[in-house]
Amino acid sequence: MDLLNTLVDKGLRRELPSRDEALAVLATSDEDLLDVVAAAGKVRRHWFGRRVKLNYLVNLKSGLCPEDCSYCSQRLGADTGILKYTWLKPDEASKAAAAGLAGGAKRVCLVASGRGPTDRDVDRVSATIKTIKEENEGVEVCACLGLLSDGQAERLRGAGADAYNHNLNTSEATYGDITKTHTYADRVDTVQKAHAAGLSACSGLISGMGETDQDLVDVVFALRELDADSVPVNFLIPFEGTPLAKEWNLTPQRCLRILAMVRFVCPDIEVRIAGGRELHLRTLQPLALHLANSIFLGDYLTSEGQAGKADLEMIADAGFEVETTEQVTLPEHRRGGGCGSVCGSQAPDEASAEAAEPATEPAAEPAVKAEVPGPRTDLVAVRRRGAGTDVAPNA
């Protein structure tokens, strides 16, 4: 397929594809899906080999959020049955983080619900960051506390934070349909504040909220323009009690096409499969490792994820390896190596397999068409273990 050859060539040279090319990836058929995965997989392996970075979430403060984000189980007035608790103490957060690090995670993501942190909240999180860093050599810490005020990113950096996460979530054109209590521009401003403070910018999207292909392409191009180092790709978890509870728009194939498009637009950036991968990718999760080089281990903020042991088995069975603390995630040019705009370029593989000829003999009996599963509401499970509970975490 000429499109895929072009995109591989551009990805190996870190050249931005056109918007039409990105849209064409999302429009490919299920019959072409494995070709799409194989092509994007060449780009992923060129920049990241077969390494998979493991990240672990610690929900420092759950629920009680004054914002009205339609997708969120912690939103204002939501009746979702999630855990609700105020700030974990530094030693409690460090204990929670240790479970993920023992499972192989190299980055701990400290998340707190709310519009944004007060200065006192920044002090709390700074103490937590210092405790985790003191007790775990080589660990990366990413903070995710909402909208930042002037000077707060610098204080987090001074406390030892390596990164700051704040997702754009969807396109600027449709952002007002998702959230009313803050703006798309507010989110862009926070990502820029983190970048300016010397923090690695982590910003991603949520798919499955009823957006168009154009919306998906717009937000990924915006993330590329913001120069995020890592891009989490979330698949909507339609919690009962939220306005988007009935939005079941994703199939495993659709999820893979979205991840492939993100990889082509962000070839040398850490692409992370985030919330909802178990729910929507299901048995095709291993294929997604050929597109993304990063996942979350175990549970999410308010929902249960796949068992940490199953994550590790999936990575090994698919022929990948867990990235260690001694390995650096990003390619050298994204670490200030300054090797130019076509660093590491190489020609794409030329070999291609001929399609097999269809059988001419009719089948003895008509084939039974596999039933396409409907929404898997049974896979949405509220987290009842780990941080904020007395139950051991899933890591």
Q: What are the Cα distances from residue 309, in Å, to 219, 314, 377, 391?
A: 33, 9, 23, 17
Q: How far apart are CA 91 and CA 117, in angstroms?
A: 20
Asked if residue 109 belongs to a known ligand binding site, the reply is: yes
Closest CA to 298 of 52, 105, 94, 71: 105
Is 144 in the active site? no
SS3 29: coil
Answer for the pair 79, 241: CB distance below 8 angstroms, yes or no.
yes
Please identify which of the residues 44, 65, 187, 334 carries the catalytic annotation.
65
Residue of 14, 75, 107, 109 marked active site: 109
To the query of whether residue 202 is one of the catalytic residues in this protein, the response is yes
d(CA 99, CA 76): 30
Residue 72 annotated as catalytic: yes
Q: Which of 272, 277, 334, 383 is labelled catalytic?
A: 272
Q: How far apart are CA 301 and CA 96, in angstroms?
A: 12
Active site residue 69: yes
Residues recorded for the chain: 395
CA distance 20 to 3: 10
- Is 343 a known ligand-binding residue? no
Q: Is 272 annotated as a binding residue?
A: yes
Give how far Cα 216 sits from Cα of 6, 25, 256, Å. 21, 11, 13
Distance CA 365, CA 11 (A): 45
d(CA 139, CA 29): 41
Alpha-carbon span 285 to 9, nearest angstrom: 26
* Residue 255 falls in the annotated catalytic set: no
**In whole angstroms, how far apart are CA 130 and each of 97, 137, 393?**
13, 11, 22
Dihedral angle at the C-alpha atoms of 321, 323, 328, 330, nearest 10 degrees?
70
Given the residues 44, 72, 157, 254, the one annotated as active site: 72
Q: Is 339 annotated as a binding residue?
A: no
The type of residue at 72 is: C
142 is in an annotated binding site: yes
Catalytic residue among 14, 144, 202, 277: 202
Give CA–CA dist 289/161, Å, rounded. Answer: 27
Q: Is 142 a catalytic residue?
A: yes
Residue type for position 137: E
Catalytic residue among 75, 107, 124, 142: 142
∠ Cα 240 306 86 (to 5°): 60
Provide the b/e sequence for 178-194 (b: ≥16 CB within 10 Å): bbeebebebbbebbbbb
Binding site feature residues: 65, 69, 72, 109, 142, 202, 272
Active site residues: 65, 69, 72, 109, 142, 202, 272
Binding site feature residues for [2Fe-2S] cluster: 109, 142, 202, 272
